[in-house]
Amino acid sequence: KNEVEQSPQNLTAQEGEFITINCSYSVGISALHWLQQHPGGGIVSLFMLSSGKKKHGRLIATINIQEKHSSLHITASHPRDSAVYICAVARWTDKLIFGTGTRLQVFP
Protein backbone atom coordinates (compact mmCIF):
# COMPACT_ATOMS: atom_id res chain seq x y z
CA LYS A 1 0.00 0.00 0.00
CA ASN A 2 1.30 3.46 -0.90
CA GLU A 3 2.07 5.76 2.00
CA VAL A 4 0.31 8.60 0.16
CA GLU A 5 -2.99 7.97 -1.62
CA GLN A 6 -4.89 10.44 -3.76
CA SER A 7 -8.46 10.37 -4.98
CA PRO A 8 -9.86 10.52 -7.47
CA GLN A 9 -7.21 9.41 -9.97
CA ASN A 10 -9.01 11.20 -12.79
CA LEU A 11 -11.48 14.05 -12.63
CA THR A 12 -13.48 15.76 -15.35
CA ALA A 13 -15.34 19.00 -14.71
CA GLN A 14 -17.22 21.71 -16.52
CA GLU A 15 -15.90 25.23 -16.33
CA GLY A 16 -17.14 26.98 -13.20
CA GLU A 17 -17.52 23.84 -11.09
CA PHE A 18 -16.13 23.49 -7.57
CA ILE A 19 -13.47 20.78 -7.46
CA THR A 20 -12.08 18.77 -4.56
CA ILE A 21 -9.02 16.52 -4.68
CA ASN A 22 -8.21 14.39 -1.66
CA CYS A 23 -4.95 13.14 -0.20
CA SER A 24 -4.64 10.58 2.61
CA TYR A 25 -1.39 9.43 4.15
CA SER A 26 -0.53 6.63 6.52
CA VAL A 27 2.62 7.96 8.20
CA GLY A 28 3.39 10.74 10.63
CA ILE A 29 4.38 13.88 8.80
CA SER A 30 5.78 17.34 9.42
CA ALA A 31 4.45 19.01 6.28
CA LEU A 32 2.37 18.35 3.19
CA HIS A 33 2.85 19.87 -0.25
CA TRP A 34 0.44 20.29 -3.13
CA LEU A 35 2.05 20.50 -6.55
CA GLN A 36 0.64 21.16 -10.01
CA GLN A 37 2.16 19.51 -13.07
CA HIS A 38 1.25 21.06 -16.39
CA PRO A 39 0.71 19.02 -19.56
CA GLY A 40 4.16 20.13 -20.74
CA GLY A 41 5.71 18.51 -17.65
CA GLY A 42 6.66 21.52 -15.55
CA ILE A 43 5.94 21.34 -11.81
CA VAL A 44 4.74 24.28 -9.74
CA SER A 45 4.49 24.29 -5.96
CA LEU A 46 1.00 25.41 -4.91
CA PHE A 47 0.99 25.05 -1.13
CA MET A 48 3.05 23.82 1.78
CA LEU A 49 0.91 23.06 4.85
CA SER A 50 1.66 21.87 8.34
CA SER A 51 -1.74 22.69 9.84
CA GLY A 52 -5.05 24.39 9.12
CA LYS A 53 -5.90 26.01 5.84
CA LYS A 54 -4.26 28.15 3.16
CA LYS A 55 -5.82 30.11 0.30
CA HIS A 56 -4.29 31.48 -2.84
CA GLY A 57 -6.64 32.97 -5.39
CA ARG A 58 -9.18 30.29 -6.35
CA LEU A 59 -7.21 27.53 -4.64
CA ILE A 60 -7.74 26.42 -1.05
CA ALA A 61 -5.81 23.70 0.74
CA THR A 62 -6.72 22.18 4.09
CA ILE A 63 -5.08 19.60 6.28
CA ASN A 64 -6.30 17.56 9.23
CA ILE A 65 -3.25 16.14 10.95
CA GLN A 66 -5.25 13.88 13.31
CA GLU A 67 -7.17 12.29 10.43
CA LYS A 68 -4.06 12.20 8.18
CA HIS A 69 -5.98 13.87 5.37
CA SER A 70 -5.66 16.92 3.15
CA SER A 71 -7.89 18.40 0.49
CA LEU A 72 -7.22 20.76 -2.39
CA HIS A 73 -10.22 22.77 -3.56
CA ILE A 74 -10.52 24.77 -6.74
CA THR A 75 -13.37 27.25 -6.90
CA ALA A 76 -14.83 28.44 -10.21
CA SER A 77 -12.69 26.01 -12.19
CA HIS A 78 -11.31 27.05 -15.56
CA PRO A 79 -9.83 25.09 -18.48
CA ARG A 80 -6.38 26.45 -17.59
CA ASP A 81 -6.65 24.51 -14.29
CA SER A 82 -6.33 21.30 -16.34
CA ALA A 83 -3.22 19.59 -14.99
CA VAL A 84 -2.06 16.78 -12.73
CA TYR A 85 -2.24 17.67 -9.03
CA ILE A 86 0.22 15.87 -6.80
CA CYS A 87 0.24 15.58 -3.04
CA ALA A 88 3.57 14.99 -1.30
CA VAL A 89 4.44 14.58 2.36
CA ALA A 90 7.60 15.30 4.29
CA ARG A 91 8.25 13.28 7.43
CA TRP A 92 11.15 14.50 9.57
CA THR A 93 13.56 15.26 6.72
CA ASP A 94 13.34 17.16 3.44
CA LYS A 95 12.70 13.90 1.59
CA LEU A 96 9.26 14.11 -0.07
CA ILE A 97 7.03 11.06 -0.55
CA PHE A 98 4.66 11.56 -3.46
CA GLY A 99 1.14 10.45 -4.26
CA THR A 100 0.36 9.18 -7.74
CA GLY A 101 -1.45 12.34 -8.74
CA THR A 102 -4.95 13.36 -9.81
CA ARG A 103 -5.44 14.23 -13.46
CA LEU A 104 -7.95 17.06 -13.81
CA GLN A 105 -9.57 18.12 -17.06
CA VAL A 106 -11.83 21.14 -17.10
CA PHE A 107 -13.96 21.63 -20.20
CA PRO A 108 -15.42 24.95 -21.37
Partner 1 sequence: DSGVTQTPKHLITATGQRVTLRCSPRSGDLSVYWYQQSLDQGLQFLIQYYNGEERAKGNILERFSAQQFPDLHSELNLSSLELGDSALYFCASSPREGVYNEQFFGPGTRLTVL
Positions that interact with partner 1 (CB under 8 A)? 30-31, 33, 35, 41-45, 48, 50, 86, 88, 90-101
Sign of the CA dihedral running 96, 32, 79, 57: negative
User: Shortest distance, CB of residue 77 to partner 1, whole angstroms?
Assistant: 23
Residue closer to partner 1 (CB basis): 72 or 86: 86
Q: Minimal CA–CA distance to 74: which of 96, 95, 56, 94?
A: 56
The residue (of 13 and 29) whose beta carbon lies closer to partner 1 is 29
- Residue 98 CB, shortest distance to partner 1, in Å, is 4
Residues 6+ apart with CB under 8 A from 39: 82, 83
Q: How far is the CB of 97 from partner 1 (least distance, A)?
A: 7
Q: Which class for 41: exposed (0-12), middle (13-18), buried (19 or more C-beta within 10 A)?
A: exposed
Give 13 or 63: the residue with its C-beta nearer to partner 1: 63
